[in-house]
Each structure stands twice: as structure tokens, then as C-alpha cells.
């Protein structure tokens, strides 16, 4: 079996991927890359080898990648720095003799500068190009929006206030982060994925009107949906004390959903894992059941 390294291993996606890999291969085949070894104690307890490396430090990456066959390259979270960081990772993988890089990229429809998510997409577009030109075997996973952040978009008091989000009638084929981890593990643990691109996205897309209707059905309470102008939305959030940067990020994602940047559906997940992804309704049932239990 190949020696597999997971970057960002102390993060949610990396850690979940390792947990799925532990069901598919021996722990001796798995290596976790983290910036801070103190945050990897849980993985260490499971017997996973821990290596320390930083996307900003090319030398640390080449050392960490020594003897590795496959890498799960989890994209960096620092939008301002990740173009250079990603270039470091691809170059280090090639120089260290890695055979195959699996990269967590991002769904998008419009790759132009006028895209509402252009600042987010730029590093992904460049990284995909670098991988294709690198001579390395690669697999690109075009991940949709994490369904896990849906509660952030709809707010904590949605049963009282309804949904206030400027996404219009646009739809998104969101997917749970845990399902994305299952897809990552499936690609890493099996062969035949070299130089392929997969859409890691649900087989059904939903609008925020659909989400309001689902919550109404689950809760038994009527939940409305209002899609304000983008500027009004930002002003409302900042007026309520939300940091301006976060308000603009939320508005940018809403505009992207409105323009159907994330509307593409796919059965790639089911092909890779042998099961269906968690649906928006199943996720929302879990969210509102948990909320009800916490209130009792």
C-alpha cells in the first residue's frame, strides 16, 4: 500500500479523511502533516505518524514529503497568501519524489475577474494549472460549499426571523464536509484516479426558498425567505455588529449562489464511495433536532 500524507491534518477535513482512511488501510500507511504538533495529539493516540510542515516554509515541506507516495493537498485557508503557499506545495511534492497529489479545489462556473468569488477562485485555478503542468499524477476534487456552514448563512433564530440572505432563486449543490472527507479517502485508498477531475457535489441542488420550505416542514412553523439587495444585506449585518469583512464574504457567497456558481450536480461522490451523500433535508433535520434537545 502507498504511503499517504494528509496536509492540514488537524483541521476538520483532514482529520475526517484520516478517520475514513483508517477504515481502509493500516495506520502505518498514513502520515499527518500539521503546523503545530501539539494539535495532533488525538491522531498520535491513534498511531498516526505526525510530521510538522508549513505551507509558507518550502524546506519544511520537502522534508515532510520524503518517502511519501500520495498527498492529500488540502487548500490553504489564508486567501491573501495561498497562491505562494500552493506553489510551494506543488514544487515540494515534485522535488521530494511524490507520485500523486490529490487536491481539494472548488466548484465554480465563471473563472473571470468579474466572478463574485474571484478572490477565492484565483488560487484554485492557478494550483490546478500547476498540477497539470508538473508532471505529477494528480486528482482534482472540485468541492462544493460545505453544507456545514448553512446555519451561518440562515442565522441562529431562523424559526423566529425567517431567512434573510441575498441569494435570489439561485441553487447550490452543497455537501457535508464529512462526505467530502469520505470522497477524499476513497480516492487516496484506491487506484485509477490519476489525472482525473471529480465534482464533489450533491446530486441535487437547493435554493434558499427550498431550504425555508424544508425548515417549515421539519419545525411545523412557517419560515419565510427574503432576498434583499446585497448592499442592504451588508448594511444590516454590520449594523447588527457583524464584522464588515465577514458581512462582505457572506454577501459574496450569496451573490455566487444567486449566479449559480455552485449549482452543478454530480453523481461522482456515489461512484467513488458507493453511497449517497447526506441531503439538505437530512442535515437540517439533524440541526433542528439538536437545537430542540439543547433547549430542553
pLDDT at residue 120, rounded to an integer: 86
What angle (nearest 5°) sits at the alpha carbon of residue 268, between those of residues 263 and 269? 95
The correct CATH number of 145-175+201-264+279-296 out of 3.90.25.10, 3.40.30.10, 1.10.260.40, 3.30.160.40 is 3.90.25.10
Give strand pairing partners of 140: 103, 197
249-289, pLDDT tens digit by residue? 899 999 999 999 999 999 999 999 999 999 999 999 998 87
pLDDT over 90 (residue 118): no
| Rounded Cα distance, 103 and 131, in Å | 9
> Are the folds of 4-143 and 145-175+201-264+279-296 the same?
no
What's the rounded mean pLDDT across residues 228-236?
96
What's the rounded mean pLDDT across residues 77-96?
94
Residue 92 is classified by DSSP as H
Q: What is the pTM of this model?
A: 0.94
Backbone phi, psi, residue 163, to 5°: -100, 130
Q: Which fold has domain 4-143?
A: Rossmann fold (3.40.50)
| Rounded Cα distance, 215 and 158, in Å | 9
pLDDT at residue 123, rounded to an integer: 93
| Rounded Cα distance, 35 and 20, in Å | 22
Per-chain mean pLDDT for the chain: 94
* Least confident among 90-99, 193-202, 245-254, 260-269: 245-254
Give residue limits of the domains in the chain: 4-143, 145-175+201-264+279-296
Is residue 283 within 8 A of residue 176, CB to CB? The reply is yes
pLDDT at residue 296, rounded to an integer: 43
* Least confident among 12-26, 108-122, 200-214, 226-240: 108-122
pLDDT at residue 293, rounded to an integer: 41
pLDDT at residue 229, rounded to an integer: 97
pLDDT at residue 110, rounded to an integer: 85
- Quick one: residue 192, left, alpha or beta (phi over 0 = left, psi -120 to 50 = alpha)? left
- CA dihedral sign of residues 233, 234, 239, 245: positive
Is residue 143 within 8 A of residue 74, CB to CB? The reply is no
Amino acid at each position: 500500500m502507498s504511503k499517504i500524507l494528509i496536509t492540514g491534518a488537524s483541521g476538520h477535513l483532514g482529520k475526517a479523511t484520516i478517520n475514513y482512511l483508517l477504515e481502509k488501510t493500516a495506520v502505518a500507511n498514513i502520515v499527518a502533516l500539521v503546523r503545530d504538533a501539539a494539535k495532533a495529539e488525538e491522531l498520535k493516540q491513534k498511531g498516526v505518524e505526525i510530521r510538522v510542515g508549513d505551507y509558507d516554509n518550502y524546506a519544511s515541506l520537502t522534508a515532510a514529503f520524503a518517502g511519501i507516495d500520495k498527498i492529500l493537498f488540502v487548500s490553504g485557508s489564508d486567501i491573501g497568501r495561498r497562491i505562494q503557499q500552493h506553489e510551494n506545495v506543488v514544487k515540494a511534492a515534485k522535488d521530494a519524489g511524490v507520485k500523486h497529489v490529490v487536491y481539494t479545489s472548488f466548484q465554480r462556473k465563471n473563472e473571470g475577474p468579474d466572478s463574485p468569488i474571484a478572490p477565492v477562485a484565483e488560487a484554485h485555478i492557478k494550483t490546478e494549472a500547476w498540477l497539470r503542468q508538473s508532471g505529477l499524477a494528480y486528482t482534482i476534487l472540485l468541492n462544493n460549499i460545505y453544507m456545514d456552514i448553512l446555519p451561518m448563512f440562515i442565522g441562529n433564530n431562523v424559526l423566529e426571523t425567517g431567512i434573510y440572505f441575498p441569494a435570489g432563486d439561485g441553487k447550490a449543490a452543497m455537501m457535508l464536509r464529512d462526505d467530502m472527507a469520505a470522497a477524499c479517502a476513497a480516492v487516496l485508498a484506491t487506484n485509477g484516479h490519476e489525472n482525473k477531475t471529480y465534482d464533489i457535489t450533491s446530486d441535487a441542488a437547493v435554493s434558499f426558498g427550498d431550504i425555508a420550505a424544508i425548515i417549515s416542514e421539519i419545525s411545523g412553523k412557517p419560515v419565510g425567505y427574503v432576498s434583499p439587495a446585497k448592499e442592504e444585506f451588508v448594511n444590516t449585518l454590520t449594523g447588527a455588529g457583524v464584522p464588515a469583512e465577514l458581512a462582505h464574504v457572506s454577501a459574496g457567497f450569496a451573490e455566487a449562489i444567486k449566479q449559480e456558481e455552485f449549482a452543478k450536480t454530480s453523481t461522482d461522490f456515489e461512484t467513488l464511495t458507493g453511497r449517497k451523500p447526506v441531503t439538505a433535508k437530512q442535515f437540517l433535520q439533524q440541526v433542528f433536532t439538536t437545537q430542540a434537545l439543547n433547549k430542553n
